Amino acid sequence: MWKVIILKGIMKSVLEWVVIIAVAFVLSVIIRNFIVDTRIVPTGSMLPTIQLQDRLIVDRLFYKYSTIKRGDILVFTAPEQAQEDLDLVKRVIGLPGEKVEIKNGKVYIEDKALNEPYIMAPPDYNYGPVTVPPNSYFMLGDNRRASKDSHIWGFLPADKILGRVWIRYWPLERFGSLGKVPEPYFTQAVQK
């Protein structure tokens, strides 16, 4: 009789653990696929803002309820033209309907130069002018001379966006947000 009671107790405990593990697994899948995700940065295309092997938390849900702004850092599935297997991390530079041009080491939006203290070095190429199509974005890495981005593969369709980078959580000494874009974002100089 006491063996039956012990066996029932063990079975109840095992069943409770199975339910707890199953619920934890389902919650993990839901959170990771729909709310937040983590990424390890494998390339130097966003240097100096994001270092190699930085760990990032990506907002996959709440960014959908706010407007994507110039300067946001996004994680996205690489467009087909990029011929990349990995998801990419780049900065939003051009918004839908805007004219973008890169020349003389500066990025111009609607003929106004951007103030970009976050870049590694000015671009050493010319591009455009082009107009960003509806529901698309022009994306650049902060390491302009070593980034395969929109100046190579074109515009990012909005449906490829997986989320907005929220914070860097590793290494601990650099824990926190990745910084805001400068105010004002445009320099006073007009393109010549």
Tell me the C-alpha distance between 2 and 26, whole Å. 36
Catalytic one of 45, 136, 147, 150: 45
| Cβ atoms of residues 81 and 160 within 8 Å | no
Q: Which residues contact 25 (CB under 8 A, 6 or more apart)?
A: none
- Is residue 90 annotated as a catalytic residue, yes or no? yes
CA atoms within 13 A on the CB side of 60: 17
Please confirm, yes or no, whether 45 is among the known catalytic residues.
yes
Distance between terminal CA atoms of the chain? 94
Question: Which residue has tokens 């850092």?
Answer: 73
Q: Is 131 helix (H, G, I), strand (E, B) or coil?
A: strand
Q: Which DSSP string do the residues of 62-123 spell out, in sequence order?
A: GGGGS---TT-EEEEPPPGGG--SS-EEEEEEE-TT-EEEEETTEEEETTEEE--TT-SS--
Buried-state track 41-50, b at ≥16 Cβ within 10 A, e below 16: bebbbbbebb
Among residues 12, 69, 90, 112, which one is catalytic? 90
Tokens describing residue 154: 């074109």
- Residues with a known catalytic role: 45, 90
